[in-house]
Chains A and B, each alone.
Chain A
């Protein structure tokens, strides 16, 4: 306890020098929390939105389907198992995909025609209006919904009509007019860019792929139902289940996780640079203290303190910098971080062009684990940089130290 009191008094005695070090370290502390919170916020938002709009909580895909390889689309469709669909009921949403060419306002666009059940509730793609129009439909009009990125690129609005041309299962061209029933807004570009959503039964009829799907999206309850379906339990992700490849949440989120991991790597570099600058200041302060306070060190030893105890006092002195920095950072950083969490960080309009799910604003998420890890990082690293210069004390001769001679 004496060591702590002594160390704290010595630190306070240093005045501005201490507060300068503490300020720099508190800045590093807050910035590290901000960066990590931002990435965690993006991660949470991207996963939530992607699951809500695109993947659900699990997926049964046609074995040939690869969402990153358009070459697989032509062959990756098959009949859905009737027993399976009956079991899953509303907890599954089959989607059929075919490549097509759209001609909005006389311009040519390569698009994916995606058929979705108009009664489904697994995905957030708006089907209510499409369902009403399909039910009321006479004369073969095909209602469609598109995302606002597609709408902007093709200059389309709700109520507009465009011709869509595609090849059926035999490769024969067909073309029909579709009417944009609704333009939806989503943070997930992969369900929006160059995509036209139409009723599943229409697409099946148009392509002569009756009862077929490219993948079946599952809700949480759907996955649970399959897991509890007698002997036929779900296999591990990536393996076949009744002729369809099962992908769990982790497999479906793999791309997002990889991107976040890469981003965390780059943010770690920035955080570490900032932390190093702050720790360098503590390191310098320690060196200077030991150089200037040799008589004090000699006195401590002459009065009966062991060298190890003196090393401890100086190490604690340095480490208290971090404790003060955390306290100061909490004082000014917490209101700031809370305010940022409240307002969100606006993202540039073209950020989502890379195809990743990014909202207009990212709301940082500060988890307890992340906060604790940051506190430990700052405290332990300052402990280390405080101890390294203090080791010199153990080599000092007390008589020489008392005389104030250099080591």
Chain B
């Protein structure tokens, strides 16, 4: 048994090295657009670093700033559908969300009946959930952050990273590509600080509209962890905005989770009481 296992390991080494060399070709890190669409965060105004004199890095940062101009806003109110593709069935959960800046957001689930009334509040790095059936508010922290949101490919911890990309990543344009007939710039982001969720990310940004069409997040080892595909880019209140996003945990089997923005309003005044724990009940 022992020798047999040693043999298995040796065979594994060979295949593993080959697989690893395929994985390691590119490393990335990331901004959570799932979070953006989910109401949770959007990077606010970016402040470009001028430290690097390299043309590629400046280009990467200026591109990210233009992306921010499209995606970020002082506040927003929107309704969305989250379509969760399970192994046996597909579920659709609709919600209404309010968000202000990067650190405040509030969501209420509208359907299906089993989830209706569930509310989620993100406030200054803390996350609370109110469940009407139990009539209880709980704080999501520690190991609970690793759990899936409503069975989707998104975990609660994915919703908690709320810093600007330009504050935490060095970026550079590495190549050009085409997605769905649109020219894109491939921007590679490498963490310049140690306390970020993803060490490296890769973004495919529409070269004309400056909206990301694909984003990949990688582990330190180079393993691809998450991928987002962004579609249905429309011009809303003077900015380009993707109304559909498919979020996929690449380590998990399945088709991923789809978010569709059904209504969205930018820079709408939101009453302060929305972002309080009292509004959960």
Where the two chains meet, the residues of A that have a C-beta atom closer than 8 Å to any C-beta of B are 70-71, 73-74, 99, 101, 103, 105-108, 110, 129, 132-133, 136-141, 143, 158-159, 161, 163, 165, 167-168, 170-177, 179, 181-182
Contacts A165-B225, A173-B220; A106 near B196 (Cβ below 8 A): no
Task: Give the interface size class of chain B.
Answer: 35 or more
Given the complex, which residues of B lie within 8 Å of A73, measured CB to CB? 142-143
| Inter-chain contact A143/B219, CB cutoff 8 Å | no
In the docked arrangement, what's the CA distance between A108 and B154, Å? 12
Contacts A173-B198, A173-B199; A181 near B5 (Cβ below 8 A): yes
Contacts A70-B142, A110-B147, A133-B9; A172 near B197 (Cβ below 8 A): yes
What is the minimal beta-carbon distance from B255 to any residue of chain A, in angstroms?
12
- Residue from the list B12, B219, B221, B253 in contact with A107, Cβ < 8 A: B253
What is the minimal beta-carbon distance from B23 to any residue of chain A, in angstroms?
10
Residue pairs across A and B with CB atoms within 8 Å: the count is 108
Task: In the complex, identify which listed stretch (B13-21, B42-50, B93-101, B273-281) lies at the interface while the others stay far away.
Answer: B13-21
Given the complex, which residues of B lie within 8 Å of A161, measured CB to CB? 12, 16
Q: Residue-by-residue, is B135-179 near A (CB-CB < 8 Å gives 1, otherwise 0)?
A: 000000111001110000000000000000000000000000000
In the docked arrangement, what's the CA distance between A136 and B1, Å? 16
- Listed by A's residue number, 5 A-B pairs whose Cβ atoms lie within 8 Å are A106-B253, A129-B5, A167-B197, A171-B197, A175-B225
Given the complex, which residues of A lie within 8 Å of B142, measured CB to CB? 70-71, 73-74, 99
Contacts A99-B146, A129-B2; A141 near B9 (Cβ below 8 A): yes
Given the complex, which residues of A lie within 8 Å of B217, measured CB to CB? 173
- Residue from the list A108, A132, A137, A173 in contact with B252, Cβ < 8 A: A108
Contacts A132-B6, A159-B5; A173 near B197 (Cβ below 8 A): yes
- Residue from the list B2, B195, B221 in contact with A170, Cβ < 8 A: B195
- Residue from the list B5, B148, B199, B254 in contact with A172, Cβ < 8 A: B199
CB nearest neighbor in B for A112: B143
Given the complex, which residues of B lie within 8 Å of A165, measured CB to CB? 219, 223, 225, 251
What is the minimal beta-carbon distance from A203 to any residue of chain B, in angstroms?
14
| Inter-chain contact B221/A175, CB cutoff 8 Å | yes
| Inter-chain contact B143/A175, CB cutoff 8 Å | no
Given the complex, which residues of B lie within 8 Å of A71, measured CB to CB? 141-143
CB nearest neighbor in A for B249: A108
* Closest A-B pairs by Cβ, 3 of them: A106-B253, A71-B142, A175-B219
Contacts A73-B142, A141-B13, A143-B9; A172 near B252 (Cβ below 8 A): no
In the docked arrangement, what's the CA distance between A181 and B4, Å? 10
What is the minimal beta-carbon distance from B118 to any residue of chain A, in angstroms?
21
What is the minimal beta-carbon distance from B198 to any residue of chain A, in angstroms?
6
8 Å CB interface, B190-240 against A: 191, 194-199, 217, 219-221, 223, 225
Q: Residue-by-residue, is B250-264 near A (CB-CB < 8 Å gives 1, otherwise 0)?
A: 011110000000000
CB nearest neighbor in A for B160: A171
In the docked arrangement, what's the CA distance between A70 and B217, Å? 27
B134 on interface, CB distance cutoff 8 Å:
no
In the docked arrangement, what's the CA distance between A136 and B197, Å? 32
In the docked arrangement, what's the CA distance between A172 and B251, Å? 17
In the docked arrangement, what's the CA distance between A108 and B249, Å? 10
In the docked arrangement, what's the CA distance between A167 and B9, Å? 26
In the docked arrangement, what's the CA distance between A158 and B219, Å? 26
B272 on interface, CB distance cutoff 8 Å:
no
| Inter-chain contact B198/A172, CB cutoff 8 Å | yes
| Inter-chain contact B16/A139, CB cutoff 8 Å | yes
Residue among A168, A170, A181 with max Cβ neighbours from chain B (10 Å): A170
- Residue from the list A132, A138, A170, A176 in contact with B223, Cβ < 8 A: A176
In the docked arrangement, what's the CA distance between A130 and B89, Å? 40
